[in-house]
Structure 1
Amino acid sequence: MNPPDQTPRRRDRIDGRAIRDGASSIGVAIDDDAARRLAVYLDAMLDENEHVNLTAVRDPSTAVVLHAVDSLAIALAVAEPPRAVFDLGTGNGFPGVACAVLWPSARVVLCDRTQKKLIAIVRCLQLAGIVAEPLWADADQLPARDPAQLAAFDLVVARAVGDPAAVARGSAPLLAPGGRLALWLTAEDRPPVTLAGGMGRERVVRYELPEPARRTRAINVWRKD
């Protein structure tokens, strides 16, 4: 008896038009090249996910919405292009990769405490031609380990990383005065108006993700005094 075939099934590649159209549905405009690079990255990330646990989402159409389109919503919450972006607990690279595509002149740091995830992310970045800096670190320990990162960023972003108060404690030392913390939450979440490090909530942006993962999402933005 022959052993079962262990080769992963070849799936359809993601079309950049799906990302562009999904972004347009929430009010974010990106050009064809940006959409293509995000599609290449997302495809590569789903391939890497066969070997490294990067996402529970395996359906490409759902991944387009829940990873790419949801991350691109940051453009609705941030009026001016940031100079430096820190993705805290990047996991699979989103939302930082979307920030790198939206604001190509910005420095974008993708921070995670799991090295094998970052190694996979680097391979995806190289395939997609997206420029971002991987950083293997625990954000809570970063100020002591690398003082050069203190107050070096004007935007910290985080998706699905837990308690906003805990995220604020880790991000406050990284933010320059006037910098912003942007957290993706459900529309039902009611986070504190003020957070550690002198951060007061500046705005909440709500939007409706399209099918096949329709739901209402919210990006909460706090500003550091």
Structure 2
Amino acid sequence: MKRLIDVASWARRENYLFFRDFPNPYYALTVRMDVTLARERARRAGVRFSQYLCYAALRAVNSVEEMRYRQVDGKVWLFDAIRLNTPVALPDHSFRSVIIPYAPTLAAFAAEAERIRVAALRGEGDAYGADAIKDTFCISINPWYDFTGLAFQSGPCPGEEIPIATVGKICERDGRLSVAVAMRFHHGFVDGYHVGQYLERFQHNLDTL
């Protein structure tokens, strides 16, 4: 479900109209998230760490209203729930993008995610078709290397691309585990305060799910 926003009376009207016509209305940042507890909690829950991490992020996204706004065909919509758009790596090193629905619990999310992952390994889906679906947050798990920053591509429709995040390789320092997370958000919808809310809730979810 989604609700059309009346921009004329919207609290974010000034922010949105200022950034709406920018060739690139997005900003990006890279942070480190502590996954020391998360890796152990995923193991105890019997779920893949990647699914645990994605659910922790997706749950945080859905808790921040500003991260559920999307521009579609020039109009602003607020979605009730945001789903996960994520690539599934295939044995030949290509991938299939899949959409995984949000769920109220980790167990329910992981069960559906695993079913969809197995279907993708059989060849269902394609590489980029899911990117046209707007009620999503794209998270790509990159276990091959760490990074300190990441540049994201811009598509042919400025302002109508979905938020995206890339997660790097697990690194250990001083007995703690962490991953780099690079993110891109539409500045017309999401300010630094909202990113702070998201990161706080993301870390809480990583530690407690």
Fold conserved between structures, TM > 0.5: no
TM-score by length of 2: 0.34
Higher relative contact order (CA 8 A, sep 6+): 2
TM-score by length of 1: 0.32
